[in-house]
Amino acid sequence: MQISQPSTLTVGLGLRRGLIPDLLAAPTGDFDFLEVAPENWIGVGGTHGAALRELAERYPLSCHGLSLSLGGPAPLDVGFLHEVRGFLDRYKVPLYSEHLSYCSDDGHLYDLLPLPFTEEAVHHVAGRIRQAQDILGRRLAVENVSYYAAPRQDMDEATFTNAVLREADCDLLLDVNNVYVNAINLGFEPQAFLAAIEPGRVVGMHVAGHFDESDSLKIDTHGAPVKPRVWSLLADAYARFGAQPTLLERDFNFPPFTDLVAELQTIRRLQSCEVSRG
């Protein structure tokens, strides 16, 4: 199937049920694409299913999974992967991403847990990514996650991430807020992380707000406006990887829709500035 790839100068929002009225009423130009978690929408009918179909006719969809558990010990859910492939094919979705983490064993743990940064973990997760890509019939992008303690670190996060991307031959969805949160909480320079990631694999970006528990503890919430230092880091990421399609993540505590549009316009401005410099 031929799936058209979006322009890199695009901005998007997550399709959340609480935003559906605003998304349906939004004029052309407020946003360019919508991101959905396929497991939250596969088989959904009624008014929500109708809203999904209407919005999918007007906007391209991107898919960002929550429950594949790429780094987990239990076998991949092959049946679920086939369901996801059907959803991606139906809506001609060009990008499916998942988290470089795990979230299940015998059952779902309802959290995205960090992987050990070891050679064994590289081989384990890369093999599962390759298996998933074979079933999906398309490349997968993995997202760097926020974490507050690592089970073991034989290498740093950027080295681990690069090793997985190379061995799995997959792409990276770069979450800029996660880079910042991890840098503050774990004591490294966020720009150094960006500089260490190999160029050419980044196919999209996420940006979001977080909660300031203290000067040295940031909590990744997706429930607040984007902080100034994260905006600055997004500009650094564009300078390093180009102005990639970027999603503004907001999962709860929704402000007036005009406030979200203003943040999307900030993304557009940063993208345009990078293109002008290039």
| The pLDDT of residue 40 is above 80 | yes
The arithmetic mean of pLDDT across residues 112-123, rounded, is 91
May I ask the CATH class of domain 14-277?
alpha beta
Q: Which residues contact 222 (CB under 8 A, 6 or more apart)?
A: 208, 209, 249, 250, 251, 252
7 versus 257: the higher-pLDDT residue is: 257
pLDDT of residue 72: 87
Lowest mean pLDDT among 34-48, 104-118, 144-158, 190-204: 104-118
DSSP 145-174: ---S--S-BSS-HHHHHHHHHHHHT-EEEE
Chain-centre distance for alpha carbon 161: 15
| The pLDDT of residue 187 is above 70 | yes
pLDDT digits (tens, 9 = 90+) for 69-83: 898 888 999 999 999
Which of these, 191, 161, 160, lies nearest to 176 by C-alpha position? 191
| The pLDDT of residue 5 is above 70 | no
Domains of the chain: which residue ranges? 14-277
